[in-house]
Amino acid sequence: MIPTNHPRYRSLVTRELLAENVKKGIVSLEGLTAHGRGEAFDYFIGEKTTPSAFLAGQTAAAMLLSARHPVISVNGNTAALAAREIADLQRACGARVEVNLFHRTEERVHLIEDLLRSAGTDVFSGTAERLLPLSHDRAWCRREGIFSADVILVPLEDGDRCEALIGMGKKVIAVDLNPLSRTARRATLTIVDELTRALPIITDACTNLTKSERKKLVESLDNNYLLSEAIREMTMRLSHALD
Ligand code: PTJ
């Protein structure tokens, strides 16, 4: 039992949630190490949304709303941490939600789809095919889902698939606390923020942005600027860490 007055309460509860979801078969064991890497980078940004991450979240909303066929790709960590937030975002932007896994088994796909449905998401499921140019199992997806998406939101992605999706001409929105990762650098837009903080910002922006604000955000998108801002914000925090 974690005491509510523990200074790291939120972080400890999140770890416990992920560990429980490993036992249920939703999160992969490797997902725990991925989370640990994320936590380290979250320290560097002070565990709060930075101005550049907020701008990136708003831009993500503008991209999803202007897409012909937006898709949100969900893996084990994303489902365990943010099933409700995914359902809210789907309602706000009308995207298809599809499960796509690195450590893929049919059983995990079904468990994750069930978790998403129980949180209110309309999950796009059905027969998957090996459609993406990848040698690992993230290649499996649905023809009318990820394969034909023009804009795709990929929280906690691996660099390989991000590159493959970009190579297929898609616009990729990544959520990744590590601004140095291959995913962060290859994506069309990277939100350097913790997933459960980033998703509600996108959802709110989907509801609140005007058409002309959306147009301006899409036109002024500069991922190099957003990444360099994220690194600058981290460096500034680190250089004042012992003040
Ligand atoms: O469920 P599966 O089988 O598809 O596997 C999912 C994982 C996450 C294991 C897989 O996609 C993976 O190995 O990812 P990577 O390559 O470790 O990349 C994950 C990235 O997400 C890392 O750069 C982390 O810093 C970042 N990250 C981890 N937790 C969060 C995060 N970013 C935002 N919010 C988080 N909560």
Burial of 161 (0-12, 13-18, 19+ CB in 10 A): buried
Q: How many CB atoms lie within 10 A of CB 87?
A: 20
DSSP letter for each residue of 110-177:
HHHHHHHHHTT--B--S--EE-SS-SSGGGEE-TTTGGG-SEEEEET--HHHHHHHHHTT-EEEEE-S
pLDDT of residue 158: 83
What pLDDT, in 10s, does the model give residues 125-184? 989 999 999 999 999 999 999 999 999 999 998 889 999 999 999 999 999 999 999 999
Q: How far apart are CA 129 and CA 25, in angstroms?
A: 22
Please give the helix or strand (H or E) that residue 222 lies within, else none: none
Tell me, using a 6 A CB cutoff, whether residue 99 lines ligand 1.
no
User: What does residue 174 show for φ and ψ, rounded to 5 degrees?
Assistant: -105, 145
Q: How far apart are CA 190 and CA 60, in angstroms?
A: 9
pLDDT for 114 beyond 90? yes
Tell me, using a 6 A CB cutoff, whether residue 28 lines ligand 1.
yes
Average pLDDT over residues 215-237: 97
Please give the helix or strand (H or E) that residue 71 lies within, else none: strand 70-74
Question: At which residue do the structure tokens 């970009």 appear?
Answer: 166
Tell me, using a 6 A CB cutoff, whether residue 181 lines ligand 1.
yes
Outline where the chain has alpha helix (H). 9-23, 29-44, 51-65, 76-93, 106-118, 159-167, 182-186, 195-208, 211-219, 223-239
Mean model confidence pLDDT for the chain: 96
Structure tokens at 231: 């690194």
Ligand 1 centroid to Cα of residue 157, in Å, is 6
Q: Candidates 10, 14, 77: which one to mutate for ligand 1, based on the most atoms within 8 Å of Cβ?
A: 77
Average pLDDT over residues 92-104: 97
Q: How many CB atoms lie within 10 A of CB 33?
A: 10
pLDDT for 229 beyond 90? yes
Q: How far apart are CA 70 and CA 95, in angstroms?
A: 5
